[in-house]
Structure 1
Amino acid sequence: MEIGIDSFVQMGGPELTGAQRAKNLMEEIKLADRVGISTYGIGEHHRVEYLASSPAIFLAAAASVTEQIRLSSAVTVLSSDDPVRVFQDFATIDLISNGRAEIVVGRGSFIESYPLFGYDTKHYDELFAEKLDLLLKLRDETLVTWQGKHRSSLNGQGVWPRPVQQQLPVRLGVGGTPASFARAGLLGLPLTVAIIGGEPHRFRPMIDLYRQAWARAGHDPAKTDVSVHALGFLADTDQQAADIFWPSHKETFGRIGRERGWGPITRESFDAQLAPTAAYLIGAPETVATKLRYYDEVLGGLSQVALHMSGGGVAHADQMRSIELLGTLVGPIAG
């Protein structure tokens, strides 16, 4: 099981400029590369509190200053993007990084990109299915013939550049919708499951559905690939990790909760998610490593767990320490 980091490049207070946050991000990715983190993913958002409206730009910048780490979206909101441009962007990242690019595509848990780029959310699933079909065709063929409903057809046009990797990796990012798990299995795509709360074992039936759909479609059962995206943060002790992370977490989830009609977030509810069988990967290295092993066991074997560490209200020095602990201590313990 590999260990990764995902980020939405969250902003902090008004004293932190966009330029400084971008500089901090590059430092975070370079450190992750040095300490042996497997993957760094950047997720697309179009909100004032997040800087990563165009993950490919950040990933291309990171590709030029790293050596080993894989560079991924987390996720690309494919429904409101153009698959040709997505493919070209990540093929370019693959060239700059010499074969370290990966795309995680999804429909998005936030919908700001739909009206921003002129799409109607009533076509939420239809847009994604059609554009995913085109993206997969683009990675397999240079001269593409394709017809769709929501995007103009292609009639043998060439799509360049081509990546270093023979087949540019595409993963399907999912939340809690069974149909999305089944779709990934039917298409034979690697699966990334976002677990942002609750108890991880509750996702096992849907992961089993993915594996069953994979087998029914005739794919090799030995090649199923399940990874997890979960909230995480490390410090030298469990108490330090919780205390440092809590203020930023309260602000972020409080704001989202008000938008979505959730109840107020409390420290008690946050602490409950730190329990051994709950979702958050927050604590000292030994604690996080133990929970990673638990994730792997209850979900039937994972290829990777990526800790969502977006920064924001967490001081840059604390974020860097968290990355250092994750790479130097958690990997060897969890392995």
Structure 2
Amino acid sequence: MELGIGMFGDLQHNKAGQIQPAKQRLQEIIEEVKLMDELGLDFFGIGEHHREDYVVSVPEIVLAAAATVTKNIKLGSAVSVLSSSDPVKLYQSFATIDLISNGRVELTAGRGSFIESFPLFGQNLNDYHELFEEKLDLLLKINTENPITWKGKFRPALNKQKILPRAVNDKLNIWIAVGGTPESVERAARLGLPVIFAIIGGSPSQFKPLFDYYKEVYQHYNHDLDKLQVGVHMHCFFGEESDAVADYYYPLYAAQMDRVGASRGWPAYQKNQFDYGRSKNGALIVSDANEAVDKILQMQELFGLTRFSAHMDVGAPSHKEMMKSIELYGNKIAPKVRAALKS
């Protein structure tokens, strides 16, 4: 099982409501990815958002910068909002980073949980589902054919058009990010694509039927089971002492949940939600190293994971605390998880 870290580039908010300078946070992210690479973590993913509380609107730019200061870690999006992107440009961008990084780049495509990118790039929300279907079809075709001839509804047609540059080995590794909809799970499995589930609330066990459904459909379409890849993306933060890290992290986490919830009509985030999330049956891993190891192994046993992604910057902890959390993950948690899986 690969062990890595996902981020969205959350920006800090001080008590006066002032937001951290974007320049500062972007430079911190590059330092954090460099540390992940030095510690031997398997991958890093950065998400795409177009809101003032997140700094990253173009994941490929951050990944290109990270590629120049790392040597081994895989680099990918988490996620690229494909519905409002141009698949041609997206492929070209990621293929370029793949060449810079000597084949370490992945692309994770999703529909996105926010809708800001649709009006920003002139897309109609009424076309939400059709846009993703068509653009995913084009992206996958670009990934396997060159030159390409293609025609769709939302983009000008392509006629024997070369898409350049090409990724290392002429092909990108493309994942699909899903929430909790069977439709998204079925699509990924039918196409034989790796899938990563965002489990950010409730009980992870509720997702077991979706994992089973993915594997059932994957087999139905005669895809090679030896190539099946499934992962989870869960909110995590690590400290030397479990209660102390929870006390530090709760105000930051709750504030971000409330900022997101304000636009969605959610009630205020409560401490009992946080405490349940940290329990054995919950979806939060905010703890010391030993508790984190136990819970990650629990997820692997429950789902048969090939990848675990710790989403570590929700609510924008300080750079100092982020570095400590990454160090714990790389030095204590990852080695114990790997040793347990080998035994």
Which amino acid is 2:286 matched to?
I
Structure 2 residues without counterparts, runs of 5 or longer: 339-343
Which residue matches 1:29?
33
The yes-or-no answer on 1:47 pairing with 2:47 is: no
The yes-or-no answer on 1:214 pairing with 2:195 is: no
C-alpha distance in structure 1 between counterparts of 2:252 and 2:39, whole Å: 25
Which residue matches 2:113?
109
Q: Secondary structure at the match of 1:171?
A: strand
Instruction: Label 1:154 to 1:15 Cα distance change in 2 as closer, same or farther (>3 A).
Output: closer
C-alpha distance in structure 2 between counterparts of 1:18 and 1:172, whole Å: 28
Kept in 2, the 8 Å contact 1:186–1:217? The answer is yes
The ranges of structure 1 where at least 4 consecutive aligned residues each deviate by more than 4 angstroms after the TM superposition are: none
TM-score normalized with structure 2 length: 0.95
Which residue matches 1:324?
327
Which residue matches 1:11?
11
Instruction: Label 1:267 to 1:24 Cα distance change in 2 as closer, same or farther (>3 A).
Output: same
Which amino acid is 1:9 matched to?
G
Instruction: Label 1:278 to 1:312 Cα distance change in 2 as closer, same or farther (>3 A).
Output: closer
1:146 Cα deviation after fit: 0.7
C-alpha distance in structure 1 between counterparts of 2:335 and 2:221, whole Å: 36
Kept in 2, the 8 Å contact 1:4–1:38? The answer is yes
Kept in 2, the 8 Å contact 1:94–1:165? The answer is no
Which residue matches 1:276?
280
Instruction: Label 1:312 to 1:200 Cα distance change in 2 as closer, same or farther (>3 A).
Output: closer
Which amino acid is 2:227 matched to?
K
Alignment equivalent of 1:171, drawn from 171, 175, 181: 175
Which amino acid is 1:52 matched to?
V
Q: Secondary structure at the match of 1:165?
A: helix
1:165 Cα deviation after fit: 3.4
Structure 1 residues without counterparts, runs of 5 or longer: none
Q: Secondary structure at the match of 1:91?
A: helix
Kept in 1, the 8 Å contact 2:253–2:314? The answer is no
Which amino acid is 2:256 matched to?
T
Q: Secondary structure at the match of 2:169?
A: coil
Which amino acid is 1:101 matched to?
V
Q: Secondary structure at the match of 2:268?
A: coil
The yes-or-no answer on 1:125 pairing with 2:133 is: no
1:17 Cα deviation after fit: 1.3
Which residue matches 1:289?
293
Q: Secondary structure at the match of 1:329?
A: helix
Which residue matches 2:318?
315
Matches within 5 A, 1:175-214: 175-214=179-218
C-alpha distance in structure 2 between counterparts of 1:241 and 1:142, whole Å: 51
C-alpha distance in structure 1 between counterparts of 2:169 and 2:239, whole Å: 36
Count of aligned positions: 334
Kept in 2, the 8 Å contact 1:277–1:291? The answer is no
Which residue matches 1:239?
243
C-alpha distance in structure 1 between counterparts of 2:185 and 2:337, whole Å: 26
Q: Report percent identity of matched pairs.
A: 44
1:67 Cα deviation after fit: 0.4
C-alpha distance in structure 1 between counterparts of 2:162 and 2:224, whole Å: 31
1:312 Cα deviation after fit: 4.9
Render the CA deviation track for 1:112-154: whole Å, top value 9, x for unaligned: 0001000011111110010000001111112010111111111
1:15 Cα deviation after fit: 6.4
1:240 Cα deviation after fit: 2.0
Q: Secondary structure at the match of 1:260?
A: coil
1:224 Cα deviation after fit: 1.6
Alignment equivalent of 1:92, drawn from 96, 114, 122: 96
CA-based RMSD: 1.1
Between 91-100 and 305-314, the greater mean CA deviation after superposition: 305-314
